[in-house]
Structure 1
Amino acid sequence: MGKPRIRPIALGLIKHQGHVFVSKGYDTIKDQAFYRFLGGGIDFGETSIDALKREFQEEIQAELTNIEYLTCLDNIFICGGKPGHELIQLFRCDFVESCFYRLDHAYPLIEGKETKEAIWISIDQVRSGQLNLVPQNCHPYI
């Protein structure tokens, strides 16, 4: 096994009526649910905006608009007992299709061979600590 690598990713922050659009994950070691903005890895030769658009298309078949660069975040973490390090290119954006703005709806999210859910969560519940939005250093942008 080679030495650990830093993974460059692009994530999209989408806000609507006091909520943010996220995927739900679960850390079995910590026995804890967590939420994260949608997006994923930036491929070699691909811009971070192109990666963001491609990931939303692959994961939930959604097109993005009003894409605006926010910041780059370091995310050093342990998930499932394994250390990770991501450099996150964070963008604020909107959906083109209004059907994605249903707050009470769960959207099937395809990640490789897995199907998860993309949902809207309350920003107030994130700020109160009720819901665990990761990484913590993205909280000032919501």
Structure 2
Amino acid sequence: MERPLVCVGALVWGKDGRVLLVRTTKWRGLWGVPGGKVEWGETLLDAVQREFQEEVGLRLEDVQYAQTQESVLSGEFHRPAHMLLVDFLATTGDHDVTPNEEIEEWAWVHLHEALEYPLNTVTRSLVTLALRQGEA
């Protein structure tokens, strides 16, 4: 029996105040934030740290819970999936992205400019939350 996947992601500020957006192979050309599935026995915090290291080569600091979202059979995702997405806000001291094979493109942008990108729905929600909280 299939069950929902627990996934993590984070909106991350660099030392110059810009946030990292990525375009991956999994969201049909839409932009989002690095993240992925939580592995068995792994905490949410460990998972988001690992995913950032694997996908973009960045170490996260000041990781804080932001929200939990649900994506059920979204046409934006590359295959049918039911995901519980646990979102975080964080910082990093490094701007040097080392992308893995999933990352097609990336950009450091000011938070208020992020909504100008074709974001997937869950990332748009996270950016909107950060803007409402005055994280710009």
Shorter-chain TM-score tier: 0.7 to 0.9
Identity of aligned residues (%): 22
Amino acid at match of 2:23: K
Q: What is the distance in 2 between the residues matched to 1:15 and 1:72?
A: 19
TM-score of the pair, normalised by structure 1: 0.71
Could you give the per-residue CA deviations for residues 75-125 of structure 1, whole angstroms, max 9, x where no partner exists? 231146632221111111001x34x1x7xxxx34114xx553332244434
Amino acid at match of 1:89: V
Corresponding position of 2:129: 141
Corresponding position of 2:40: 44
CA contact (8 A) 2:11 2:126 kept: no
Indicate the SS of the match to 1:8. strand
Gaps of 5+ in 1: none
Corresponding position of 1:73: 69
Per the TM alignment, residue 50 of structure 1 is displaced from its structure 2 partner at its CA by 0.2
Deviates more, 1:72-81 or 1:40-49: 72-81
Q: Higher Cα Rg: structure 1 or 2?
A: 1
RMSD: 2.8
TM-score of the pair, normalised by structure 2: 0.74
- Higher RCO (C-alpha under 8 Å, 6+ residues apart): 2
